[in-house]
Amino acid sequence: MARGALTAGVHGADAVEENAAVPAPRLEAVHGDITAQDTDAVVNAANAALAGGGGVDGAIHRAAGAADLHAACAALGGCDPGDAKATPGFALPARWIIHTVGPVWAGGGRGEPDVLASCYRRSLEVAGGLGARSVAFPAISTGVYGYPAAQAAEVAVAALRAVDTEVALARLVAFDTATYDLYRSLLGT
């Protein structure tokens, strides 16, 4: 049944709203290393082949244990942009890694904001399905995929604020001070 759906008692009285207590997660921003986060899950800004690479993806593969993570990713058969898939966290403090493929920036007219928002939503859906209560996110698509940092931060915060999830905490992890300042401004902290 959909969140907020009403169900009625046997005689049509005493309607009760089901799942009313499922809020958006609490959002926080930190300046740090995504691979060192003590959350239940961390999100990897992956490529479609889930084959590892540079930036966040490379750092997560190295820190988790490249051989184990490569094998787990290969078994998933890739991932479409805007979707998310999970593997164990292996040597990371996080129990799980949620791999998501962000959009390559092409000027903003090819659906990039929708695909990026889907990355955040789907990552929380996958994390919630695993029972994760806390998830750390990098700045998805802002590296080699070229998404402008300010626009990406706006999409991230809006998407996370709008999602209904059992995940209690969504942590936005900024590798650099400029991104951290963007997150703090958007969160009002």
Strand pairing report for 16-17 and 6-7: antiparallel
CA 146 to chain centre: 18
Describe the crossing of helices 149-162 and 177-187 by its angle, rounded to 10 degrees.
40
The tokens of 92 are what? 């990371």
**CA-to-CA distance for 143 and 149, rounded, in angstroms?**
9
DSSP H or E segment with residue 146: none
Active site residue 57: yes
User: Whose CA is closest to 143, among 34, 36, 40?
Assistant: 34
Q: By three-state DSSP, how is residue 113 classified?
A: helix
CA distances from 146 to 45, 128, 149 (A): 13, 29, 8
Q: Which of 33, 57, 83, 176 is catalytic?
A: 57
Catalytic sites, residue numbers: 57
